[in-house]
Amino acid sequence: MTSPSPSEARISIIGAGPGGLTCARILQRHGLAVTVHDRDAGPDARDQGGTLDLHADNGQIALREAGLLDEFFELARPEGQEMRRLNTAGAITSHQVPAPDELFKPEIDRGRLRDLLLGSLHPGTVRWGHGLDHVGGPAHGPRLLHFTDGTTTETDLVIGADGAFSRVRRALSPAVPRYTGISFLEAWFSDVDARHPDIAELVGQGGAHAADGERGMFAQRNGDDHIRVYLIQRLPADWITAGGLAPKDTAGIRARLLEHYALWSPRMKQLITDNDGPYVDRPILALPVPHTWEHTPTATLLGDAAHLMPPLGVGVNLAMLDASDLALSLANAATVGDAVRAYEKTMLPRSAETARALEGGAEHLLTTDFPDPGDDDPRP
């Protein structure tokens, strides 16, 4: 099959996260048709996660290409760039406060970013409740997308923006995410200024990190008076069930955590004991480094589907930059195959370089000599 012109091609994106939606928005700005498929029943089907810092040298570049940078700044929280390093007693040992006009990496909640991107797309662009089961059809195309509801769709290009456990990746690579040995346990705190004033004061307007060499904590101020705390430990991936606990046994998990953090001060232990609701277990996974695949003109990957890395401040930014590069390649190439090749020629070396730099980086979140706040702050 001869690779079609992008203007005549059927382009399918799997995954309505920031990367997939950014790619769709930029494609539509350049007059190219695209459909996004997502497994969620709708845009409000589940919590979208915490806050993101979008950097001027990647994430913001993508938003500029999407024509959404001004709207982003209207929604963003520049004060969220504040970063604190704490000791286990809760005292500040290092503190970065952004200048009043600092906009290098302002924060925005994932949900608000997603709403911004969704609202910019043509009506009907996203097909909700459409989880991909597998990609069929020959490598030279057309591809046949098999969905979990039993339906199929033929496409000329499938773009995997479907995260760590990408179904599109299976059509290109045998690689699977591996556990890094570091586990995050997420805790939520709502209405913090009124209900958790001590924690609100401890964390400030941005993020706060503490570690003792064996365990750590990272707390982030989100929008709407909300804080998320990530308890960071070097443990087996199944540490909760292996310890005879159920994932929803909040009291049992809390008791175990208090044993692990026994030498930390009562002030810091509030981040373990005072959370609203259950904990969320998040073992940290990563793809092999480097992760590459043989060029195929009918399928490619972006974001975590292509280069899942430890959560150290680059994930969503790289995903959005990938999305922008791919969309612009499609807008400017003679064929889809040429566009995919040009995109991967840029993206694969860039992601490999970053992944090498961050390989094993989750371990640094446990050390007392973690880089100064703002150098490479963690973003779960």
Beginning with the edge strand found earlier in the chain, give each strand of the sheet holding 35-37 in spatial order. 126-127, 35-37, 11-14, 157-160, 299-301
Domain boundary among 223, 257, 285: 285
pTM, 2 dp? 0.95
Residue 372 lies in a domain: no
| Region of poorest pLDDT, from 233-237, 320-324, 364-368 | 364-368
Q: Are residues 172 and 294 in the same domain?
A: yes
Strands 107-109 and 143-147: unpaired
Residue 216 lies in a domain: yes
Cα–Cα distance for residue pair 329/323, rounded to 1 Å = 10
Give the SS3 label for residue 185: strand
Cα–Cα distance for residue pair 113/109, rounded to 1 Å = 6
Name residue 11's beta-bridge partners: 157
Q: Are residues 37 and 152 in the same domain?
A: yes
Domain that holds residue 260: 180-285
Residue 66 lies in a domain: yes
Query: What confidence tier does 222 reach under pLDDT thresholds 50, 70, 90?
Result: very high
Cα–Cα distance for residue pair 104/98, rounded to 1 Å = 10
Name residue 126's beta-bridge partners: 36
Over residues 228-247, the mean pLDDT reads 96
**Res 142: pLDDT:** 96
Strands 11-14 and 157-160: parallel
Query: What confidence tier does 374 reach under pLDDT thresholds 50, 70, 90?
Result: very low
Residue 105 lies in a domain: yes
Number of residues in the chain: 380
Q: Are residues 266 and 345 in the same domain?
A: no
Whether 13 contacts 37, CB under 8 Å: yes
Domain boundary among 285, 310, 338: 285
Q: At residue 150, does pLDDT exceed 80?
A: yes
Helix locations, 230-335, DSSP H: 239-242, 250-260, 266-273, 304-307, 315-332
Helical (H) or strand (E) element with 43 = none
| Tens digit of each residue's pLDDT (9 = 90 or more) over 263-279 | 999 999 999 999 999 99
Cα–Cα distance for residue pair 96/73, rounded to 1 Å = 21
Residue 262 lies in a domain: yes
What's the whole-number average pLDDT of the chain? 94
Structural domain count, the chain? 2
**Res 370: pLDDT:** 59
Q: Are residues 269 and 335 in the same domain?
A: no
Q: Are residues 30 and 107 in the same domain?
A: yes
What the block records as the tokens of 257 is 């955590």
How many beta carbons lie within 10 A of that of residue 84, not counting itself?
A: 21
Tell me the HSE value of 215 on the side-chain side, using a 13 A CA sphere: 18
Q: Is 338 left (phi over 0), alpha (psi -120 to 50) or beta?
A: alpha
Q: Are residues 167 and 187 in the same domain?
A: no
Residue 71 lies in a domain: yes
Whether 22 contacts 62, CB under 8 Å: yes
Domain boundary among 253, 285, 317: 285
Q: Are residues 297 and 244 in the same domain?
A: no
Cα–Cα distance for residue pair 302/321, rounded to 1 Å = 9
What CATH code is carried by the domain that includes residue 201?
A: 3.30.9.60
Helix locations, 86-144, DSSP H: 110-119
What the block records as the tokens of 272 is 């373990």
Work out whether the CA dihedral 325, 328, 332, 338 comes out positive or negative: positive
Query: What confidence tier does 371 reach under pLDDT thresholds 50, 70, 90?
Result: low
Residue 236 lies in a domain: yes
Q: At residue 294, does pLDDT exceed 60?
A: yes
From 61, 13, 32, select the one nearest 330 (Cα to Cα).
Answer: 32
Q: Are residues 58 and 168 in the same domain?
A: yes
DSSP conformational letter for 77? B
Q: Are residues 293 and 258 in the same domain?
A: no
Residue 195 lies in a domain: yes
Q: Are residues 245 and 222 in the same domain?
A: yes
**Which residues are within 8 A (CB) of 280 and not within 5 positions of it... i.e. 6 or more apart?**
185, 186, 187
Q: Are residues 166 and 299 in the same domain?
A: yes
Helix locations, the chain, DSSP H: 18-29, 59-65, 69-75, 110-119, 192-195, 197-203, 239-242, 250-260, 266-273, 304-307, 315-332, 336-358
**Res 361: pLDDT:** 82
Q: Are residues 291 and 347 in the same domain?
A: yes
What CATH code is carried by the domain that includes residue 27?
A: 3.50.50.60
Name residue 85's beta-bridge partners: 94, 209
